[in-house]
Amino acid sequence: MAACTGSTGNNDLESIPVKDIKERVNRNSVVIETMEASGNIAFDSPEQSGTGWIEVKIKKPDTVYVRIEGPFGISIANALITRNDFIYYNAQENKAITGSSTPINIGAILRIKVTFDELISGFTGSFVLNNEPADSSGAGSENGLYLVEQLIQIDENPGKQRFYIDPSLFTVSRYNSIDGANLTQVEVNYLNYSEESASGKSLYFPSSIKIKNPVKKQSVYVDYVNKEFNKTDLTFRMKIPKSAKILKWD
């Protein structure tokens, strides 16, 4: 990822060097190595809307497991997604899909088009921000939050990331991925941070997460009820019935 930092907006907070903000954000983010969490989920898109219960297991930097149940504990779907590929099982249709972990494929199975890294960051609220030579300059601010920007590539085209940082906890309150046409491709909002423990260390973790793709009119809302971090025995299992229809995507 080619990246740099910058700042925009009105300076309504005490000026702090970008590098200091990044250091404090990263310090909180790197505490999470694995996560097992569950809670309520609601999703909305032009193709499908619904509510249910979600179980999420994550092992950084390369594995995500998601299981979704509908009303009365009825299994709807589960997916095991790695940085390179995925397997997804739709219990209602008894259909399994395998393929590469592209944003398009992730969007098709989880109803929200994001990159694999955005999937991990989105579910955990943990971002590791890159250090750049210009980080000695003061960060901008907007609506009571520090604002840090990084340049990225989106579908091989120039884009940028915006991180809106809480000035008290130095956690990410909002994340935006913006393409070269200045359109927001992904927006994630984090609410209800609380202090948690992982491997004897303290961290701040958001219980409520809202992930949106405004262009695709897709949104996912997650409210975690249970969460546990840095389990050493975290396992990932996908059980596909022999009777399931298997599809292969590129």
85: number of Cβ within 10 Å: 14
Q: Which residues contact 57 (CB under 8 A, 6 or more apart)?
A: 34, 35, 36, 63, 64, 65, 66, 234, 236
Structural tokens at position 138: 């003061």
Sign for the pseudo-dihedral over CA of 157, 190, 37, 225: negative
Name residue, tokens 């298997």: 246
Contact 78, 229 (CB under 8 A): no
Among 95, 88, 109, CA closest to 238: 88
Amino acid, single-letter form, for residue 63? T
Classify the phi-psi angles of 185: left when phi > 0, otherwise alpha if psi is within -120 to 50, otherwise beta: alpha
Residue burial 131-152, b: 16+ Cβ < 10 Å; e: rest: ebeebeebbbbbeebbbbbbbb
| H/E stretch holding 95 | strand 95-100
pLDDT value of residue 58 = 97
Among 47, 194, 24, CA closest to 108: 47
Give residue limits of the domains in the chain.
5-227
pLDDT tens for the chain, 250 residues: list them: 333 344 444 456 888 999 999 999 999 999 999 999 999 999 898 888 889 999 999 999 999 999 999 876 778 899 999 999 999 999 999 999 999 999 999 989 988 889 999 999 999 999 999 888 778 888 889 999 999 998 887 777 888 999 999 999 999 999 999 998 999 999 999 999 999 999 999 999 999 999 999 999 999 999 999 999 999 999 998 889 999 999 999 8
Distance between CA 234 and CA 227 in Å, rounded? 13
CATH assignment of 5-227? 2.50.20.10
